[in-house]
Amino acid sequence: MDTTIVRNSFREKFGTSGVLYFSPGRINLIGEHTDYNGGYVLPGAIDKGILTEITPNTSDRVRVYSLDLNDYVEFGLDEKDKPSASWAHYIFGVCREMIKRGARPHGFDAVFSGNVPLGAGLSSSAALESTFAFALNDLFDYDFDKKELVLIGQKTEHNYCGVNCGIMDQFASIFGKEGNLVRLDCSTMEYEYIPFNPLGYKLVLVDSVTKHELVDSPYNKRRQSCERAAAAITVNHPHVKLLGNADLEMLKEVKKLISEEDYMRAQYAIQENTRLINTCEALKQGDYQTVGRNLYATHHGMSKLYEVSTIELDFLNDTAKACGVTGSRMMGGGFGGCTINLVAEDKYDLFIDTAINRFKDKFGKEPKIYPVKISQGARRLNE
């Protein structure tokens, strides 16, 4: 990211200079709808994020410019009402969540800019929260540990942005490590770094530029299906409370006791967690062919068993397969967003051209292309 634009703008607006901080957006390689089933997710921080320059001021007020939206917001740290601009809710929320946890309020001036596409499923909002949470913690020596910074970001979304998210996005943004994915248990916050060095491959997202509204209700229905299946399994296997601890044999035992639909949902959830664990093993071996096959299998499961795909996402997945892409799947909860693709370098141009042209022919709009690299999480930039 270009630090010069932020630096110049900061000097112009505040007549001084500050410290630069950066936090990234994220991808999730595999492990979708596994979090609420007690399984793992496998996110990684990307080379796109939010960059801010920031300096303490002598007041109890916060003054922030959003360069990308060309907007300015000022608020007092003792104010209870959030500012009207929605982008500022993330920063206001981080401040309030920190104060709630005992941080001594301190005013600051900031300018920020980002290159995570907004609302595409790469979590620009977590990048924004994490940048400010990390920066304020460092600038004012607040002494929050990294897990607390994750929770501060998550609670900001819950309490100030009306988004009832889990911890994956903030965790990846704060804990991300170059050349590694994070295998995370969302319920315990236990994690392990898994090497990700796909030499000879590129990782690229293709945005279907379609988003279906009202995804809450299908999401809740999936969740309830999984809970019913888990409850049926628990009768014979009391140690199994969630599908993340079940296997397909256990599911088969209750086949006649649950609906066909619940069975399909549970089958996906169990297989997906197994696939994630298998993918981590393959990554440790550097076996990207297996990783790729697992991505296709996840797409198939999400489309045919969990039924959260769209015609656009299925089309992009089929296109990837036709172009010989090593692995491809829809990413995120479903009903829109991007596919994530692991592409051998010599197939990259062909795939991108084909995906753009075929998609445009079929749906009358151009998909967006976001190449990403797995990169370092939240950090202070030394320059």
How far is 207 from 315, CA to CA, in rounded Å?
Answer: 12
Query: Minimum distance from CB of 126 to Mg ion (Å)?
Result: 6
The vertex-359 CA angle with 353 and 363, nearest 5°, equals 155
Q: Can you point out the beta strands (E) in the chain?
A: 19-28, 40-41, 43-56, 61-66, 71-76, 108-114, 180-185, 190-195, 201-211, 327-330, 336-344, 368-372, 379-381
Which CB sits closer to ligand ADP, 114 or 198?
114
Interhelix angle 146-160/168-175, rounded to 10 degrees, is 140
Q: Which residue is nearest to ligand ADP (CB)?
A: 114
Which CB sits closer to Mg ion, 123 or 245?
123
Which CB sits closer to ligand ADP, 198 or 332?
332
| Structure tokens that stand for 229 in this block | 């299946």
| Structure tokens that stand for 170 in this block | 């903030």
Name the binder of 87 from ligand ADP, Mg ion, none, CB < 5-8 A by kind.
Answer: ligand ADP
If binding is defined by CB under 5 A, does position 154 make contact with Mg ion?
A: no
Look at residue 324 and give its three-state secondary structure: coil
Query: Minimum distance from CB of 262 to ligand ADP (Å)?
Result: 29
Name the binder of 332 from Mg ion, ligand ADP, none, CB < 5-8 A by kind.
Answer: none
Query: Minimum distance from CB of 114 to ligand ADP (Å)?
Result: 3
- Catalytic (active site) residue 47: no
Active-site residue among 109, 169, 262, 314?
169
Which CB sits closer to Mg ion, 18 or 114?
114
**In DSSP terms, which residues pair with 250 in a beta bridge?**
none
Query: Minimum distance from CB of 112 to ligand ADP (Å)?
Result: 7
If binding is defined by CB under 5 A, does position 125 make contact with Mg ion?
A: yes
**In DSSP terms, which residues pair with 21 in a beta bridge?**
52, 380
Q: Which residues bind ligand ADP (CB under 6 A)?
A: 50, 66, 68-69, 86-87, 114, 116, 118-125, 128
How far is 78 from 364, CA to CA, in rounded Å?
Answer: 50
Residues lying near Mg ion in the complex (CB under 5 A) are found at: 123, 125
Catalytic residues: 169
